[in-house]
Amino acid sequence: MLNDPLANVMSMILNNELIGRAECLIKPSSKVIKELLKVMKENGYVGDFTEVEDSRGNYIKLSLIGGINKCGVIKPRYSVKSNEFEKFERRYLPAKDIGILFVSTPRGIITHYNAKAKKTGGKLLAYCY
């Protein structure tokens, strides 16, 4: 039984990345996981991914490109305003302008840079650098 599927996905990606594998199979898949992977792909951390349907639920086949040094989820999922991102950047990212925070906003899952530009807040989901 999975308590936090998003945390399992992030640790699975990190483990396969550290081992040096070219692809990763992610089970189970959800809308949040797919949106997070889409944002990671747009920022150049992972390659392409496809959703494969089977009889026991769907899974995602993700290609890894070796662009991740560390990734994980943020628990508890802090609420953050548009002017409070600096505090969490210092806490979860190694240096200024290195890495991204994933934020769940009313406009969807976006990076903290886009949230700053759109002047919107939300809940912190994960980080990646």
Q: pLDDT tens for residues 33-65?
A: 999 999 999 999 999 999 999 888 889 999 999
Q: Radius of gyration (Cα) for the chain, nearest Å? A: 15
Question: DSSP letters of 44-70?
Answer: TSEEEEEEE--TT--EEEEEE-S--S-
The 10 Å CB-count burial string (b at 16+, else e) for 58-91 is: ebbebebeeebeebebbeeeeebebeebeebbee
Please give the Cα distance from 54 to 118 (Å, whole number).
Answer: 39
Residue 18: count of CB within 10 angstroms of its CB = 11
Cis, peptide link before residue 106, omega less than 30° from 0 = no
In the structure encoding, which two tokens stand for residue 41, read together? 């792909």
pTM recorded for the entire structure:
0.92
Give the mean model confidence (pLDDT) for residues 12-16: 96
| pLDDT at residue 80, rounded to an integer | 96
Q: Is the pLDDT of residue 1 over 60?
A: no
Domains within the chain, CATH numbers bracketed = 5-64 (3.30.1370.30), 71-128 (3.30.1490.10)
DSSP type of residue 18: H
Task: Label residue 26 by pLDDT band (50, 70, 90).
Answer: very high
| pLDDT at residue 71, rounded to an integer | 96
Contact of 81 with 121, CB cutoff 8 Å: yes
pLDDT in tens, 77-93: 999 999 999 999 999 99
